[in-house]
Amino acid sequence: MTTVSRRGDYTFQYNQRQNRHGWLRLTPAYSVKLVEEIGQQIELDVGDRSVILDPFSGTATTGLVATQIGLTAHLLDINPFLVWFGNTKCTDYTPDELAELQCLIPVIVQTYKRFVGHSLWLPSIHQIERWWSESTLQILAAIHHVLVQHVGQPGTDHTGDLLWIAFCRVMMDTSAAAFNHVSMSFQQETTNHTTQTIDLFFSEIATHILHSARYQMPGYARVFPADSRLAPPDMGVRYTHVITSPPYPNRMSYIRELRPYMYWTGFLNQAVEAGSLDWDSIGGTWGVATSRLKDWRPELDDLPASLYELCAEIEESNQKNALLMSRYVHKYFHDMHQHFRSLRVALAPGARLKYVVGNSSFYGVQAPTEQLLARSLAQLGYTQIAHHVVRKRNSKKELFEYCLSATWNG
């Protein structure tokens, strides 16, 4: 029996050492190395006019890999912060733009101290005192205030957005949030950071980001706001390849980790917005997304028969939330089926698909994601469907990551 390893180099951890890929530590990212290897498997070639689609952009790993080797990629995401962040990562910056921004770093560092202790805007994050000490919050609020003055809100100036990425790094790394597992927890106490410490931290991070942004990329990648359950926006092309990793059916809410970034950058203003966004995302379970499951009714009735059997088995486990989890699983695979169905209109004949997916377990009942999605693809007319194990996940022993492949012949 072949032993499957955990392969930390196939996770977001690998990306932290990879220039633009490592600008922010975000769990939704999958490995640069894995994307590059998938590209080699399907023989991506700049000369064959390949156009790549990633309908679950996340941190834009697929797009950045594509543009770095000279290909064109269109990426989609329903989360506005990830659209902004992905486009910032995939943009080319001129030497003059970066030099001007480098000169602005010491100006920001010197200017913000005038505003420390003033009554400034703070994001409406629930129990914000769990995240930062009062003194650290005053410093962050002052830097935020000065950044708005000099480069505008995120999305106002594409070059200034690089300093907002640096702010996001400083903001998260000075928080009490702990990343010792896939979701977020908190240290018992917050730290009182000094202006001297944060000055050095912000300057070093901003300089590193500008340094890694200086390389010009031969390809093109752009992230567009879109719901992956619907047909992709018409860009006047048909995609030859799909390389992506959708959320897994494991009730891990990506919005939970993204919330602090989104509040500080203005992409979230109220808690109810986070729950609504998670409800619109495949696999989302944050806040109102969970409560809405009680009233959810499927639009499609052509799902694989084995899905209904799986949902019945979960429901019959007689656990406290068995019915809710059964509906969650039903909705996840319903939405992915809807995605595969809507995707077909955007694919070129012979298009090759690669989906990195993970299986799940609910009350001891195994949800074989790779098999259920393969059956959806088959029912919808895709061919050459196969899947293989990529790695063992760092959690329960029965959880694995798979690469699911298929072809669309039109």
Q: Give the helix ranges, DSSP H, for 50-194.
A: 61-68, 80-89, 95-111, 134-151, 161-173
**Distance of alpha carbon 131 from alpha carbon 117, whole angstroms:** 18
In three-state secondary structure terms, 197 is helix
Per-residue confidence at 2, pLDDT binned at 50, 70, 90?
A: very low
CB 310 within 8 A of CB 375: no
pLDDT computed for residue 46 by the predictor: 59
Which part of the chain is CATH 3.40.50.150? 8-91+217-408
Tokens of 183: 């979701």
More confident residue, 3 or 152: 152
Per-residue confidence at 179, pLDDT binned at 50, 70, 90?
A: low
Per-residue confidence at 11, pLDDT binned at 50, 70, 90?
A: very low
316-329 burial by CB neighbour count: b if 16+ within 10 A, else e?
A: ebeeeebebbbbbb
**In which element (H, E) is residue 370 found?**
helix 369-379
Report percent pLDDT > 70 for the chain: 89
Using one digit for the tens of pLDDT, what is the confidence trace for 135-145?
A: 999 999 999 99
Using one digit for the tens of pLDDT, what is the confidence trace for 38-53?
A: 777 666 655 667 899 9
Give me the mean pLDDT over the 91-115 stretch. Answer: 97
Please return the burial class of 332, using the count of CB atoms within 10 Å of its CB with bins 0-12, 13-18 and 19+.
buried
**In which element (H, E) is residue 53 found?**
strand 51-54
More confident residue, 243 or 7: 243
Fold annotation for 8-91+217-408: Rossmann fold (3.40.50)
